[in-house]
Chains A and B, each alone.
Chain A
Amino acid sequence: MNLKFHNKKITGILTVLPENEVNFDDEIENYDFSRGQSMKLKLIMGYGKRRVVKDGTTASDLCVFGLKYLFDNDLLNKDEIDALILVTQSPDYFVPSTSHVIHGKLDLKQDMYCLDISQACSGYPVGLNQAFMLLEQEEINKVVVLNAETMSYKVSLKDRGSRPLTGDAAAITVVENDPSGSIIHGTVKLDGKGADALIIPAGGFRMPSTAKTAKLESDESGNSRAMDHLVMKGDEVFNFVQKEVPIMVDNLLAKADKNKDDIDYYMFHQPNKFMLKKLADKIGVPYDKMPNNIVENFGNASGVTIPTNLTYNLGEKLLTDSLLICLAGFGAGLSWTSLLMKIGNLDFCNTIEFKN
């Protein structure tokens, strides 16, 4: 599905990273790799440093910390927030919505729109799409999009496919109307038949958590995980991404009447370094236009890797320049989404550390 938005802009992006850092070198003994294989995969996949929350910290804690930072530094007036969107698959509770928990903790005004969206790796473009649509309302002038994940809780210590890559983070993106704004093009695609390619089988209403679902079991690849843990069919996800994302990007650029060279940066979700390099090769863009360094520095925090990519790699530039950027998210669902938009002259674009 193609989407088009007029007169909308991002005015600020803040990434919140837990200060707690885990290094792959210290975890090697957990995984069934030889030492040589670990060192090789470290370079290829981007196994490196990951930011993970300490026990008890949730998505709402990261978001509240970041929003308080913006309020305290006069970068955002809480009374001007007309809508709060939280995109997460690691909510504090099933009931109520975590966005409402955040609303309460910050004592935000009652006259506002507040919702959770359950999306993972595609969550950044999906959250922005929702913000753009809400801004069509006369009484909504400023939308705050929160992306937050603490998925490290749900990845087995003995899962060498997911554990060395998984990080936690949150991001806050402020979206407003802009009468002089250029057209924003977007694409949303999905295939629910691939829902089990990335799944936490137990813990919901379909299969409630029990002692049995918490029991670790080994698979043929030497991973040990429980039904309560995240399960990823890595081969299927990799191949779906390589097949569908380049087509999506080509279609998006065609709709916007742009060539690949017209785009300043391709800021994509970062599951691992190998996948990003293969995508850049397939799409035909140089690696410096599609950064792939978020996983090795902070880990894969699902949809939060895109705003982290923006603040970490383009933070200074986006305060003064305006760049044409292609955003793309892809993963659980299966889903794959993209946006082509001008981003720049932001009020803030930086990263802060969450301290317990």
Chain B
Amino acid sequence: MKEKILAFLTEIRPEFDFSESSNFIEEGMLDSFDIVSLVASLDEEFGISIDGTEILPKNFSNVESIYQLLIKNGVAK
């Protein structure tokens, strides 16, 4: 699942190496439009709807936080 997350991130912002960053938001690699695009991709890929109240920058700061968000929204480990 983490590879898929990385693939979507790279598709959205191909100019960045997301595997080398610990905080995508603080390092300016993702903005709110990128998060919207990512949520749409993750929803479609995993057949879920990430809860709107959890679409917060802190939940998209690194691959691990996005992974935990998916688990919380019903994606099996």
Which A residues lie at the B interface, using CB under 8 A?
A: 33, 37, 40-41, 44-45, 160-161, 220-221, 234-235, 238-239, 241-243, 274-275, 277-279, 281-282
Q: Which residues of B contact A242 (CB under 8 A)?
A: 51-53, 55
Of B37, B53, B57, which one neighbours A40 at CB under 8 angstroms? B37
Q: Chain A's nearest CB lies how many Å from the CB of B22?
A: 20
A238, B33: Cβ atoms closer than 8 Å: no
In the complex, what residue of chain B is closest to A38 when comparing beta carbons? B33
Does A221 lie within 8 Å of B40, measured CB to CB? Answer: no
For the residues of B in contact with A, the DSSP-based class is: helix
CB distance from A327 to the nearest CB of B (A): 20
Closest-CB distance, B13 to chain A (whole angstroms): 9
Using CB atoms and an 8 Å cutoff, list the residues of chain B in contact with chain A. Answer: 12, 28, 31-33, 36-37, 40, 49, 51-53, 55-57
Chief secondary structure at chain A's binding surface? helix
- What are 18 A-B contacts defined by CB distance under 8 Å? A33-B33, A37-B33, A37-B37, A44-B36, A161-B32, A221-B31, A221-B32, A235-B32, A238-B52, A241-B52, A242-B55, A243-B53, A274-B36, A274-B40, A277-B49, A281-B49, A281-B52, A282-B51
For residue B12, which residues in chain A have a CB less than 8 angstroms away from its CB? Answer: 37
CA of A238 to CA of B33, assembled, Å: 12
Which chain A positions have C-beta within 8 A of B52? Answer: 238-239, 241-242, 275, 278-279, 281-282
| A-side contacts of B36, CB under 8 Å | 41, 44-45, 274
The answer to whether A41 and B37 touch across the interface, beta carbons within 8 angstroms, is yes
Q: Give the CA-CA distance A33 to B52 in the complex, in Å.
A: 24
Give every chain B residue within 8 A of A239 (Cβ-Cβ): 52-53, 55-56
- Closest chain A residue to B28 by CB distance? A220
Q: B40, B56, B57: which has the most chain A beta carbons within 10 Å?
A: B40
CA distance A278 to B43 in the complex (A): 11
Select which of A44, A160, A243, A282 is within 8 A of B37 by beta carbon.
A44
